[in-house]
Amino acid sequence: MKTILLLSTADNPHTIKWATGLSKYYKIIIFSLKKPEKDTIYRAYSNIRIYSLDVDNEIINNRNNILSKIIYFKAIPLIKTLIEKYKPEIVHAHYATSYGLLAILSGVDELYLSLWGSDVYLFPKKSILHRFLFKFILRKSKYIFSTSEIMKVEALKYCDTDINVIPFGIDVNKFFNNNFFNESNQLTIGTIKGLEKVYGIDILIKAFKIILDRKKEQYNLKLLIVGGGSEEINLKKLVSSLELDNFIKFTGKIDYERIVEYHNQIDIFVALSLSESFGVAVIEASSCEKPVVVSNADGLKEVVENDVTGLIVKKNNPEHAAEAILKLVHNNELRKKLGNAGRDLVLKKYDWSMNLKEMIKYYEKN
């Protein structure tokens, strides 16, 4: 059995899915800069071991603190020790400009590298030095993976290496339609995203205000906002200023294992991100046969077929979003049609078991 060393944040849902999925075929060692806040998910997997820096997570999280940058370099001897101890056949770094760089500085010659988003779209644009460093990391990698075609296009601006697209799919046996949760007399519009400016939750709230002003008497509507983040207080203030407190519910941050419950409380899923490299939450909704309304952010356009699995609207445009949502509110048959087509699309392109097998093909080339 091969040993795979994953360099990735241990309690990130993406890491959890890769590690637990791959553990059926390989021995998995995880190195995480941050200590996992909840590692109970891994305890059932005898093939997975987790290592992290013995440093307070708050220091690592504070990217503006010079100490957090210095502490990164404490990871290098630990990574070298893990490589010496376990002699992994493959070292796979998730996120180029932290774990990818640490792998290279630790002497990894044939690095497998997964791009996640901001490492591609934001980091190389900070300065000439950042651009040079990003290009250096790509050049030093044996295999590079992207979750989306659009992110591949962006990354190719910095290298001429082949980039392999393997979508970050979902468990279609877990994410499926279950209307058990829905109230029959109420239509729920909802989103499941981090409460950060880039995800346009404020635009959704403003769009919902437009909808209620037009149709409050005709429909029993509510807005469900699932997730936590730095904008939570500001978003709640916006809700109060628009006098929407009785119509909008915030859940706060929830465990990934419970996300499917909330997808099945939603009748129309909305994602109005200003920027997005890939739309995992959108394909989760589609897998649950929910019609989706998304902005024309590149990563969202890639996972939605306009007028087939959902409706695509202009970014930062509450009026346009409200019109699309109302179109679905009015038409139950259209909601069902788009939802069914969304499920079909996910089964065809974003079934996690197929995505996992695709990655294993590259591991077996080594």
Phi-psi region of 253 (alpha: psi -120 to 50; beta: other; left: phi over 0): beta
- Do the Cβ atoms of 277 and 150 come closer than 8 Å? yes
Q: Is 251 helix (H, G, I), strand (E, B) or coil?
A: coil
In Å, how far are 23, 25, 71, 101, 106 from 46, measured between CA atoms? 9, 12, 30, 29, 27
- The stretch 296-324 carries a mean pLDDT of 96
- What local confidence, expressed as pLDDT, does residue 335 receive? 96
Specify the range with the lowest mean pLDDT, choosing from 36-40, 215-219, 256-260, 266-270. 36-40
- Do the Cβ atoms of 300 and 282 come closer than 8 Å? yes
Q: Which residue would you say has higher pLDDT here, 341 or 62? A: 341
Q: How confident is the model at residue 41 (pLDDT cuts 50, 70, 90)?
A: confident
Spans of all domains in the chain: 3-168+351-363, 179-349
Residue reference for tokens 């202009």: 314
- Do the Cβ atoms of 230 and 200 come closer than 8 Å? no
- What local confidence, expressed as pLDDT, does residue 322 receive? 97
pLDDT for residue 94 is more than 90:
yes
Does CATH number 3.40.50.2000 belong to domain 179-349? yes
Q: How confident is the model at residue 65 (pLDDT cuts 50, 70, 90)?
A: low
pLDDT for residue 171 is more than 90:
yes
- What local confidence, expressed as pLDDT, does residue 151 receive? 94
pLDDT for residue 323 is more than 50:
yes
**CA trace torsion 61, 65, 67, 73 (10° rounding):** 60
The Cα 336–Cα 334 span in angstroms is 5
Going by C-beta distance under 8 Å and a sequence separation of 6 or more, which residues neighbour residue 364? none
b/e for 132-158, b at 16 or more Cβ within 10 A?
ebbeebbebbbbbbbbbebbbebbeeb
Residue type (1 letter), 56: D
pLDDT for residue 37 is more than 80:
no
Options 3.40.190.10, 3.40.50.2000, 2.30.30.40, 3.40.50.1100; which CATH number does 3-168+351-363 get? Answer: 3.40.50.2000
- Do the Cβ atoms of 20 and 12 come closer than 8 Å? no
Q: Which of 182, 177, 255, 165 is nearest to 220 (CA)?
A: 182
In Å, how far are 58, 71, 249, 354, 360 from 90, measured between CA atoms? 30, 25, 45, 21, 11
pLDDT in tens, 123-156: 999 999 999 999 999 999 999 999 999 999 999 9
71 φ, ψ (degrees, to nearest 5): -65, -30
- What local confidence, expressed as pLDDT, does residue 181 receive? 47
Side-chain-facing half-sphere of 145: CA atoms under 13 Å: 22
- The stretch 263-283 carries a mean pLDDT of 94
- Do the Cβ atoms of 141 and 109 come closer than 8 Å? no
DSSP at 131: H
- What local confidence, expressed as pLDDT, does residue 365 receive? 87
- What local confidence, expressed as pLDDT, does residue 312 receive? 98
Going by C-beta distance under 8 Å and a sequence separation of 6 or more, which residues neighbour residue 147? 114, 115, 116, 165, 166, 167, 168, 277, 278
The Cα 123–Cα 125 span in angstroms is 5
Q: Which of 107, 99, 161 is nearest to 135 (CA)?
A: 161
CA 131 to the chain's CA centroid: 24
Q: Which of 55, 75, 41, 61 is nearest to 258 (CA)?
A: 41
Share of the chain above pLDDT 70, in %: 93
Sign, Cα dihedral of 289, 295, 299, 304: positive
Residue type (1 letter), 157: K
Chain-wide mean pLDDT for the chain? 92
pLDDT in tens, 255-269: 888 999 999 999 999
Fold match, 3-168+351-363 / 179-349: yes
Is residue 231 packed enough to be buried (19+ CB in 10 Å), middle (13-18) or exposed (0-12)?
A: middle
- The stretch 162-185 carries a mean pLDDT of 82
The Cα 339–Cα 288 span in angstroms is 8
The CA radius of gyration of the chain, in Å to the nearest whole number, is 21
Tokens of 180: 């058990």
